[in-house]
């Protein structure tokens, strides 16, 4: 059993790839996102085949049906894999599915984060609340984080890659003769 929270993301990803049924990865490899609290696994499921005359609304309903069916049909297996992973990696596991252009997460964590803000930063959050962009300061802060994340994806991705390389090198340790 591995309960070390410093387990590399590549080791966790490898474990999931080895543990999941082949049918879940036959369309595309899963997207696995890992942080200190949670492992999110998003599987890709083939879009349903509809006749050519089907409209956009029909296609949207078919996708929702496919997502719902996959969620219900795989629930017990996903729960078993999640229990094993939670025990092994000391993190919660969330699942999601992508069908066509739509991605839906099933159950995932909303982790509280404490921060201290000075008045100018609080005023930004209060403005978002007053304008009904957010219901509370917490919602406003989450909105800001999502906005920054969307607009800096490439930079954050490069930073995460660099951190993974540092973790890999740290785990390898120095070569001794």
Residues 123 and 106 occupy one common structural domain: no
Residues 27 and 107 occupy one common structural domain: yes
Handedness of CA 92, 75, 21, 46 (dihedral sign): negative
Decide if 82 is inside a domain: yes
Per-residue pLDDT of the chain in tens (177 residues, 90 and over written 9) = 444 446 888 999 999 999 999 999 988 999 999 998 999 999 999 999 888 787 888 889 999 999 999 999 999 999 999 999 999 999 999 999 999 999 999 988 888 888 899 999 999 999 999 999 999 999 999 999 988 888 887 888 888 889 888 888 888 888 766
Range of the domain at 171: 112-177
Decide if 4 is inside a domain: no
- Residue 167 pLDDT: 86
Decide if 1 is inside a domain: no
The CA distances from residue 138 to 112, 142, 146, 147, in Å, are 9, 6, 12, 14
User: What pTM did the predictor assign?
Assistant: 0.70
Number of domains in the chain: 2
């Amino acid at each position: 059993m591995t309960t070390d929270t410093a387990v590399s993301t590549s080791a966790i990803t490898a474990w999931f790839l080895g543990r999941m049924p082949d049918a879940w990865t036959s369309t595309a490899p899963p997207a696995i996102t890992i942080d200190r609290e949670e492992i999110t696994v998003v599987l890709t499921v083939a879009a349903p085949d509809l006749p050519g005359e089907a409209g956009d609304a029909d296609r949207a309903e078919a996708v929702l049906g496919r997502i719902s069916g996959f969620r219900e049909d795989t629930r017990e297996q996903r729960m078993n894999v999640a229990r094993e992973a939670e025990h092994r990696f000391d993190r919660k596991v969330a699942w999601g599915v992508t069908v066509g252009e739509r991605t839906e997460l099933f159950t995932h964590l909303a982790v509280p984060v404490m921060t201290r803000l000075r008045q100018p930063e609080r005023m930004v959050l209060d403005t978002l609340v007053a304008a009904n962009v957010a219901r509370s300061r917490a919602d406003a802060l989450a909105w800001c984080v999502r906005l920054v994340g969307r607009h800096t994806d490439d930079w954050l991705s490069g930073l995460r890659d660099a951190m993974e390389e540092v973790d890999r090198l740290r785990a390898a340790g120095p070569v001794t003769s």
